[in-house]
Chains A and B, each alone.
Chain A
């Protein structure tokens, strides 16, 4: 399936080019996408698609297979496998930048191939799902590209705002938001913001109510039953202690440690609950936190309002496809039998 989207951003071509190659900024543009690791040109990540009660997660890798700065063409190839099924998805995304002086026209051409259960939804629905996903991706990308100069149009400002709102959580400081375009465009700036800020955030972080950690409601109520109401109290527990609580399982513990890590806290390290500024400042881990968590929070952010819906049609289509699949299988079997017979004669 081929899809094409295009948009114009108010930045010169070379600025747009730099952003397009910055995986940490491009990946969160894909609704439902989470970045696991970046290893040179190879990117590991996951993408979560949710349509009403249906949910699918693909895990896989993406790599740049073409980078032509002269022509302004970059091609990213991605392949993924369903984490809970046998389905696969692969995509080749070719972005073409066209210099228009102060503006850049971007064309995104995508070839998408999906197999397994989701593919049985039928062609029309796949088109719609893929098209809507990539439409959102293109919109977010346009917003991200427009960011560096802070001259975004309506929708791009909305995108910037979303990315920016993720920052106060990470650094505990509203300054990082007002730092504006520059702060937002270079995630590393948060880290340079220095140990002081990280120290302040560690204190604030341990005071964060459990309610605000975006944990599953069931986990929160279980924790509250145990009188654990702040992130600091939560961090004072060890994994085993948490697992012993009714209603908290291994998956929730993983969630909790990831959430705490975003706040610069760690399970089973009660000292983090009341850090002195110098202590936290001395810890390189704490100082580095803002950087990683910014990318992560941004990814979370997009994951949240990602694709709820959307976008796939659902059971009826699937059910309707079953007779056709059965017919195809029957035809295939007949064909095989014929061949076998022919061979015998």
Chain B
């Protein structure tokens, strides 16, 4: 279908983009890779009056090493994440998860910032940023604002970004060499959304897991941390049995959605099984 009529601007600087967005009011929308927004426009489920295209902002693209952490530009595509040497070295799970997103065409156009700002609980990267304790960097008329991933995702397709704010980048703390990681995704076809996804990070020492962080995809209206499982796995032996036992509490406190692909109970079961697998892979068990 052809989208409803809208105005289009392609600013050359972030300040111009922020101003254009503010002038557009409630019915202005930012577009980056367009891999989520364009289908909504074409199906006429969204009717923005104005699209502010970030395509002209080259500075929002790429990865910068800032010492303890990496700052990844919002317009960095999934494809770039998969192939970036800094990402591979310091937060490889982001590359691994980005590699499971949809298909190559989408990965070449879709961006990290777009995926996060869209706030889809079935998207892969939100849960990963949550497990990585990343910080979102947003720019609005009032200047720059930093929002921890834990408070960024508010509800279905809704984030803590104000209407006039643009997500410009993500700051990801570097993982040390003693951390292992794994993104486990269960989906019906290769390019489908995750029915359930699990992002697990585990720190291993002397055959034990000393610390773990687990983010869950599509287990509620926002990505969530499996806190009970994280607590259970801390100090556990790095064996499949011990990790599976800890993963039994992975779905505690979640309210997964029911849809064509599975009932909430089915999703809870998947979360437990996938968390066990992801932790085992992350801890090298």
Contact = CB atoms under 8 A, between A and B. Distances in A.
A67 B65 CA distance: 69
Interface string A44-64: 000000011111100000000
Question: Considering residues A56, A123, A315, A319, which has the most beta carbons from chain B within 10 angstroms of its beta carbon?
Answer: A315
Contact of A117 (B4, B24, B43, B118): B43
B45 interface: yes
Contacts of A219: 25
Interface in A131-145: none
20 contacts: A51-B156, A52-B158, A54-B40, A85-B44, A117-B45, A122-B259, A123-B258, A123-B259, A124-B259, A218-B24, A218-B50, A309-B155, A311-B156, A312-B156, A313-B121, A313-B157, A315-B39, A319-B39, A319-B193, A321-B260
Contacts of B257: 124-125, 128, 313, 317
Nearest to A54: B45
A221 interface: yes
Nearest to B261: A320
Consensus secondary structure, chain B interface = loop
A309 B25 contact: no
B69 interface: no
Contact of A217 (B25, B48, B122): B25
Nearest to B30: A53
Interface of A: 51-56, 84-85, 117, 122-125, 127-128, 216-219, 221, 308-321, 324
Given A56-B45, A313-B257, 11 more contacts: A54-B45, A55-B46, A84-B47, A217-B23, A217-B26, A218-B23, A218-B24, A309-B154, A309-B156, A309-B157, A315-B40
B122 A52 contact: no
A315 B110 CA distance: 15
B260 A122 contact: yes
A316 B40 CA distance: 10
A285 B90 CA distance: 69
B157 to A, nearest CB: 3
B155 to A, nearest CB: 5
Contact of B156 (A122, A218, A314, A324): A314
Contacts, number: 104
A245 to B, nearest CB: 14
Given A316-B193, A320-B259, A308 B47 contact: no
Contacts of A311: 155-156
B192 interface: yes
B22 interface: yes
B263 to A, nearest CB: 9
B119 interface: yes
B44 A84 contact: yes
A217 B22 contact: yes
Given A84-B44, A309-B158, A324 B39 contact: no
A244 B193 CA distance: 48
Contact of A317 (B23, B48, B50, B259): B259
Contact of B192 (A117, A123, A312, A320): A320
B155 A310 contact: yes
A110 B116 CA distance: 35
Given A125-B257, A309-B156, A320-B259, A221 B193 contact: no
Nearest to B264: A124
Contacts of A56: 45
Contacts of A317: 122, 257, 259-260
Contacts of B50: 218
Nearest to A219: B25
A286 B142 CA distance: 40
